[in-house]
Structure 1
Amino acid sequence: MSQLCLLFDCDGTLVDSEPLLAEVMADTLTRAGLPFAAREYMERFRGVRFMNIVAELERRHGALTDAVRDAAEIEMRRTLAERMLRELQPIPNVRDTLETLGAYPRCVASNGPEHKIRTALDSTGLRPFFDDRLFSGYTLNSWKPDPWLFLHAARTMGFAPEHCVVIDDAAVGVAAGLKAGMRVVHINRFPDAETTPSGAICMTDMSQLPGIVAQLDQLEAIAR
């Protein structure tokens, strides 16, 4: 049995939900009185907790009332769930990659709410690869870049941090994995615009992951 456990982010790593989220968030927040462009989400806020984005926009444009803020979040999540069910696609090559890595224990650790994680995996047919091994920042009240989400997932899965591999596309997830003392693979889908942080392994396509994990497994075996 492998001595490595794989901790996958969800949005932008397993499923291509971020363009949908960017469009829905831009529309909802702008109508609520916080001007926001989909491009800004993709360039600056991928993987960031929704309320942290709202707080930043409120600093720029003025605070919303609690009622307007709450209504905007409810509307955003409702619209996003509807569009995910109709339009969401898995990240290219992710299904073949998960099948190839079938011998490795794995889970999902995401900043999103658990119902959003479930909707994403169910609508793309990826849920059987993870079953109920799903960890949400909202459930734990702890969000990346804080490392606690990954540390809790690792402990629940029965692995020490040094025996875990984080796979994440967002800067906040890469930072959380490195802070947790885990190996981190950054799926850099925008290599012309993003730089993989020092300490993380860069890949540009999910099909590269089995080879990277195999190399890390060999290093693990040598260390033992």
Structure 2
Amino acid sequence: MAHPPCLLFDCDGTLVDSEPLLAAEMAIALSGVGLPFLASDYMGEFRGSRFRQIVAELQRRHGEVDPDHLEIMETRMRRKLMQRLETELVPLPGASEALAALAGYPMAVVSNGPEAKILASLSSSGLAEYFGDRLFSGYTANCWKPDPCLFLHAASLMGYAPEDCVAIDDSIVGVRAALAAGMTVIHLNRFPDAEQTPSGAIMISSMYQLPTVITHLTAARQMAVSG
């Protein structure tokens, strides 16, 4: 019988509803150093992207900012964001129920965010128990989505081949990274009117749907092995 697949979850916007908080703090911080940015810019154009890549693109459009100012701005922004995550963050609807239903599967979190932010998000939302120390950060691995290397790094340390992993991600950046890594990919598309699921990924619109999809994928794997 085939072993169950390893489930690799994104964090922001997949497990926890942190993106509105992140977008709001980004807008305040970036605008404060002369890089015009609205919360809607993050949700519309930059969702899932590494913060430094967003800064680089804004500087390309609006002009360079003193690196020291940028460093101070990022430190202050991350401190304020952590405070809000600890007091305001909630799981995404259906995330707690999905993780409880899938608790028998090996699972990890794979995120572009810093490890401290991942841990704070999971702890304050009550989801940390499902993952333990199986948290894979782009800042720890020194590689970020959309490069597939972060997913490949996580799969290797979890002891799974890429084809034996299922990645669950809400951002196009993450979906493309996992597809490039050769994984089965489930796109949590919460904005189907505005966002198209990339070819090759499975679309769901709610985390409540995830256990059924994983059950079907697991059954198909077992049939392929036995047949």
TM-score class normalised by the smaller sequence: over 0.9
Amino acid at match of 1:44: E
Partner of 1:197: 198
Once residues 111 and 223 of structure 1 are traced to their aligned partners in structure 2, the CA distance between those partners, rounded to angstroms, is 33
Partner of 1:159: 160
Once residues 78 and 124 of structure 1 are traced to their aligned partners in structure 2, the CA distance between those partners, rounded to angstroms, is 18
* 3-state SS, counterpart of residue 122 of structure 2: helix
Give a deviation string over 1:10-33, Cα, whole Å, max 9, x none: 000000000100000001100111
Partner of 2:34: 33
Partner of 1:188: 189
Structure-1-length-normalised TM-score: 0.98
Amino acid at match of 1:12: G
Once residues 4 and 117 of structure 2 are traced to their aligned partners in structure 1, the CA distance between those partners, rounded to angstroms, is 30
Q: Equivalent pairs: percent with the same residue?
A: 57
Q: Which runs of 5+ in 2 are unaligned?
A: none
Partner of 1:14: 15
Give a deviation string over 1:101-156, Cα, whole Å, max 9, x none: 01100000000000000010011110000010000000011000111111111111
Partner of 2:221: 220
Could you list the structure 1 runs, at least 4 aligned residues long, displaced by more than 6 angstroms after superposition.
none
- Quote the offset at 1:221 in angstroms: 0.8
Once residues 27 and 146 of structure 1 are traced to their aligned partners in structure 2, the CA distance between those partners, rounded to angstroms, is 28
Once residues 145 and 59 of structure 1 are traced to their aligned partners in structure 2, the CA distance between those partners, rounded to angstroms, is 20
Partner of 1:123: 124
- Quote the offset at 1:3 in angstroms: 2.6
Structure-2-length-normalised TM-score: 0.97
- Quote the offset at 1:87 in angstroms: 0.7
Partner of 1:175: 176
Q: Which runs of 5+ in 1 are unaligned?
A: none
- Quote the offset at 1:218 in angstroms: 1.2
Q: Given that residues 2 and 103 in structure 1 are in contact (C-alpha distance below 8 angstroms), is that contact kept between their aligned partners in structure 2?
A: no
Q: Given that residues 166 and 183 in structure 1 are in contact (C-alpha distance below 8 angstroms), is that contact kept between their aligned partners in structure 2?
A: yes
Q: Given that residues 2 and 104 in structure 1 are in contact (C-alpha distance below 8 angstroms), is that contact kept between their aligned partners in structure 2?
A: no
Q: How many residues align?
A: 224
